Amino acid sequence: MAQIGGFYYICRQPTLGGFVKNVKIITVESDFGAGTRGAKLGPRAFLKSINKLNPSLFENIPVEAVITSDLELIEEPESARNIDNIITIENRIINLVQKALEANEFPFIISGDHSNGLGGISGLKNYYPDKKIGVIWVDAHADLHSPYTSPSGNIHGMPLAAALGIGSKKDNKHFLTDELTEKWNQLITLGDHKISPKIMPENLVFVNIRDLEPEELSIINHFNIKSFSPQNIKDLGLQMVAQQTLLHLEHCDYIYLSFDVDSLDPAVSYGTGTPVPDGFKKNEAIELLRMFLVQPNLKIFEITEINPLLDRNNPMEDVAAEIIEKVMIGIMGSPDHS
């Protein structure tokens, strides 16, 4: 492992020594933010696949679940479906994330849909209110819509807009009632400190982004948000993408890494709610995640949008387990994790 400009990258196999992380698994069995049901089954299916593949990997790792069983699907209002449930779930995620950080644990969040990423980011920022938080968003999508612009009303397309504190703009497509405006403001200001924005545009990097609506592209261009398309990745290579990402975020105190499995190519598996062509192969995802996960200031890792109902020929939970098993062995040290 070598050091460049304040960050580390893998030359061959990782020898992580001092960078072994004290992993705590947090599961979020919720797909209230998605338009297709089934992602809430992802965390349990993924852990089952991991256990089959490598029973010792998570054998002594504590697992805590965000409670979701008391909530019922209510798909209103149309421009922000299930927003009441999602506010409740995000606050529960924040509580568990903060508890893990206080215990000097490394939260590994296994979540249903990507709306839950807002809870992870909010928990990190609420725990470190005076620190700069960087976010690496490995995803086919930008998730920069809001209730003012979303064509679907599905909040898994909105977590970064909320984290950036995006509200009403002159080019709104939807009129929001006062009640819904207040609920969106609750999402924007999650956490005891009511901080908004949680992250700044210059502290966000998109990796493998390739399916954007005009409203999202407008935000990216306006704020000059760092992003890597599939063509950028082919031209630069994975090591250079990781190097540029980390150099871009080197002024950040802590980093949140989110891995949406739709960053993978559908040829690997269709088992996610919104598959998009030209994604990563398994070995590419492994290489990239390894380079990010060895960073000493990486505080939270999230994997999301595994849907076991959508591909039984190449189950996404099995694909994700193969990727994460190879990645997590490096950051967890010996099999007994002592």
Q: For residue 168, name the pLDDT band (cuts at 50, 70, 90).
A: low
Contact 144, 162 (CB under 8 A): no
Contact 123, 191 (CB under 8 A): yes
Q: Which domains does the chain have, with CATH numbers?
A: 2-332 (3.40.800.10)
- Residue 330 to residue 19: CA distance in whole angstroms: 9
Tokens of 151: 């064509």
Q: What is the 3-state secondary structure (H, E, C) of 223-247?
A: HCCEEECHHHHHHHCHHHHHHHHHH
**Backbone phi, psi, residue 23, to 5°:** -70, 140
Average of pLDDT values for 220-238? 98
Average of pLDDT values for 37-64? 96
Q: For residue 19, name the pLDDT band (cuts at 50, 70, 90).
A: low
- Residue 135 to residue 200: CA distance in whole angstroms: 9
- pLDDT exceeds 50 at position 336: no
pLDDT of res. 11: 34
Residue with tokens 């999202």: 216
pTM of the model: 0.93
pLDDT of res. 170: 60
Contact 175, 224 (CB under 8 A): no
pLDDT of res. 331: 76
Average of pLDDT values for 245-267? 98
pLDDT of res. 335: 46
Contact 102, 282 (CB under 8 A): no
pLDDT per residue as tens digits for the range 136-165: 999 999 999 999 999 999 999 999 999 999
Give me the helices (H) in 273-315, please.
282-293
Share of the chain above pLDDT 90, in %: 86
Tokens of 177: 């009632």
The residue ranges of DSSP E strands in the chain, in sequence order, are: 2-4, 7-9, 23-28, 63-66, 106-111, 133-138, 204-207, 226-228, 254-260, 298-304
- pLDDT exceeds 60 at position 16: no
